[in-house]
């Protein structure tokens, strides 16, 4: 159970807000130090671009932007893992 509080560096909070500007619940949980933020970020990872999004894209730049968002979401979750492990030790997977 991830019930412990976690102290998030302001730089990490700012990155999360940049990648997810409209996700106000995430912003609040980060500020309050909720460890469950990791679950939010894990669920939000895209990993790849769906065929539907590829076919709907109207430009290569649009696809590149989607790919950048996917990479940023992966990096944020990896950074959350590092923050968690530094403060609480290894997670049980």
Contact criterion met (CB below 8 Å) for 2 and 38: yes
Global pTM reads 0.85
Residue 11 CA: distances (Å) to CA of 46, 66, 69: 22, 23, 18
pLDDT for 93 beyond 70:
no
Distance, CA of 38 to CA of 40 (rounded, Å): 5
pLDDT in tens, 54-84: 999 999 999 999 999 999 999 999 999 999 9
pLDDT in tens, 2-58: 456 899 999 999 999 999 999 999 999 999 999 999 999 999 998 889 999 999 999
pLDDT for 46 equals 87
Distance, CA of 45 to CA of 29 (rounded, Å): 18
């Amino acid at each position: 159970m991830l019930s412990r509080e976690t102290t998030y560096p302001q730089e990490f909070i700012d990155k999360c807000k940049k990648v997810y500007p409209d996700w106000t619940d995430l912003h609040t949980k980060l500020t309050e130090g909720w460890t469950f933020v990791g679950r939010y970020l894990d669920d939000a990872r895209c990993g790849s671009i769906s065929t539907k999004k590829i076919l709907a894209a109207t430009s290569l730049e649009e696809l590149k932007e989607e790919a950048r968002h996917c990479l940023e979401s992966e990096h944020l979750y990896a950074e959350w893992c590092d923050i968690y492990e530094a403060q609480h030790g290894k997670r049980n997977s």
